[in-house]
Amino acid sequence: MASTNGLASPQWYLKRGGKTDLATRMNGLDPILAQVLYARKIDTPELARAFLYPPEDAADPLSMADMAPAVERLLQALRTGEAIAVYGDYDADGVTATALLTLALRALGGEVTPYIPDRFDEAYGLNTPALKALRDRGITLAVTVDCGVRSVEEVAHARASGLDLIITDHHSVPEKLPPAVAIINPRREDSAYPFRELAGVGVAYRLAQALFEAASAAGIAQSPIDADAFLDLVAVGTVADIVPLLGENRVLAQRGLARIRAAARPGIQALAKVAGIAVSETDSIDIAFRLGPRLNAAGRLLTRDDNHGRGGAHLALDLLLTEEPAEAQALAERLDGVNTERQALLENQVARAQNLLGDAEGRPILFVHDPDFPEGIVGLIASRLSDAFYRPALVLRRGTRTSRGSARSVEGIHITQALDENADLLQRWGGHALAAGVTLKTANLQALEERLTAYCAAHLDGIGDGPKQHVDAIVRLDELTHDTPAALALLEPFGADNPEPALATRGLIVRSLRPVGRDGRHLRLYVSDGQRGISAIAFRLGHLAESLAVGDAVDLVYRPTLNVWQGEASLQLVVQAIRLASEPRADGTQNR
């Protein structure tokens, strides 16, 4: 990537030029919100109303392939008092889905044991020793959440031992499916369910809905049970996972956020408290950057020895299951401490990975492995590398015989499809277009690197020359009002395919700047257009303090927010990108 005075300069693109009359056609619509909608091709009153105020009606869960046999098998287990396990995953999506289905089955009187594997001893997904241990405890039915769609051998072995499996998953569907009682995955080609992008917790929620309705009709439920009680869990898992926040996901996250603000369960209240979040004001940014990372931290760092013989993610699960505020507070404080450890460890390991890579410019994929990489954060390391170089990255902890790792990719290279084409080198793998996990024999590392390098080199045309900074609208400072942040909040929740609004203002003069936060990692600025001044904060851009000076003219991409201090609200720009101004300053002079 090109740079000027140390300022990274990705290409900036205005999503859609021109102006829109949408604000006029929708009387009362904020003009900046109208421009952002127009940039995202939501350019008629009908499309705007459907996006801003979507109907809550959803498709029938029973239209999802195998939903009916799954519900019937669960009803059978509930009628006869069978012991049931809910087998989950250790990320925020998997933990929230495990909590949701455990609580749902218990609400129907089920004898339920939740189980989340240990990342370090067992790795992702179903494993035969864990399934055998569950069967040895008398469990005859296990329901997976957020995993299992690729576990053909494990499911076959479990069925032979007398353990039935219901798979619920949302990851890419392989050609060969496991021999389970039912496999619920909205991505199945034979599924009539119209929305294919549900998170794992979203699939679990739809199963709970179908089960509650069937249990009520069968007389198993003593009184009607409202599945909406679990929408707070759906919101957390959906926003924290890499799924598009459009369509049904957006509706579920919206409704779940409303529930969190009004009546969050004790665990979410406690976690919000330690994260410094006002529960009544929780938004998708809070979930993505505060709640989600804390829920993920336990599964990333804690081993069985750290958590009473259970996988580390059970700490987060306990938090979501408890009904006791005091217990929730203690668990939240421990998660907060683990997350602080995770943050410090990540910074060190990203630097280590960059040193091992050396000169990474021009590589089709960043492939790095080391025996000392902490297995729980290899995905985060890969994400940082991918962001820094705008290339796919695969980071692995190299073992003597087996290596495990995580990949992150960029638009244009489907990393799970890349792994699919190298199945002969792999033991376990799975994921999405932009993220995947992988386990393979260490002896195959070199061959995998060579093949993935060739694959990514052949697909580089799909990703362009470098990262792109997309801009929704170019505005003047005098167009921003105290009402703008609330208007743009109607676009919530933000995430994949529905990013935060990105407004740009050109030629602002830097009046003051200083690094802030731990180790000066953030940048505080005060900028002016010559008529109006405004405060700005640029997270993780503190290093740019060495490349900027008071008096420089800059172009900013940002989202306007309200900053409340001692009861006084003022506009603040949360900066996404900075570059030296592409045009002369307001006073007509050039940058230094």
360 — pLDDT class (breaks 50, 70, 90): confident
As annotated, the residues of the chain forming the CATH 3.10.310.30 domain(s) are 358-462
Alpha carbon distance 573, 476 (integer Å): 13
Which pLDDT band holds residue 173 (cuts at 50, 70, 90)?
Answer: very high
Outline which parts of the chain fall under CATH 2.40.50.140: 3-40+472-580
pLDDT of res. 102: 98
Higher pLDDT, 224 or 279: 279
Instruction: Find out whether 324 and 331 touch, Cβ atoms under 8 Å.
Output: no
Topology, domain 358-462: Diaminopimelate Epimerase; Chain A, domain 1 (3.10.310)
pLDDT above 50 (res 466): yes
Fold of 55-228: inorganic pyrophosphatase (n-terminal core) (3.90.1640)
Q: Provide, rounded to the nearest whole percent, the portion of the chain with pLDDT above 90.
A: 81
Q: Does domain 3-40+472-580 have CATH number 2.40.50.140?
A: yes
Interval 300-357: pLDDT, tens:
999 888 888 898 899 999 999 999 999 999 999 999 999 999 999 999 999 999 999 9
Cross-strand pairs, 471: 14
Specify the pLDDT at position 4.
Answer: 38
More confident residue, 586 or 24: 24
Supply the mean pLDDT for the chain. Answer: 92
Average pLDDT over every residue of 208-226 = 91
Residue 210 clears pLDDT 90, i.e. is over it: yes
Q: What does each C-alpha distance from 591 to 190, 504, 577, 584 come to in angstroms?
A: 60, 19, 18, 8
Neighbours of 85 (CB within 10 A): 26
Q: Residues 363-420: pLDDT tens digits?
A: 999 999 999 999 999 999 999 999 888 899 999 999 999 999 999 999 889 999 999 9
CATH 3.90.1640.30 residue ranges for the chain: 55-228
20-79 residue pLDDT tens: 888 888 888 999 999 999 999 999 999 999 999 998 877 999 999 999 999 999 999 999
Rg of the chain's alpha carbons, rounded to an integer?
25
Q: What is the mean pLDDT of residues 551-563?
A: 95
- Sheet with 139-144, strands from edge to edge, namely 111-115, 83-87, 139-144, 164-168, 182-184
The predicted structure's pLDDT at residue 25: 87
Q: Which residues partner with 561 through β-bridges?
A: 572
CA-to-CA distance for 1 and 384, rounded, in angstroms? 16
Q: Is 263 helix (H, G, I), strand (E, B) or coil?
A: helix
Confidence of residue 6 (pLDDT cuts 50, 70, 90): very low
What residues have CB less than 8 Å from 492, skipping those under 6 apart? 254, 257, 283, 284
Question: What pLDDT was estimated at residue 432?
Answer: 84
pLDDT confidence band for 592 (50 / 70 / 90): very low
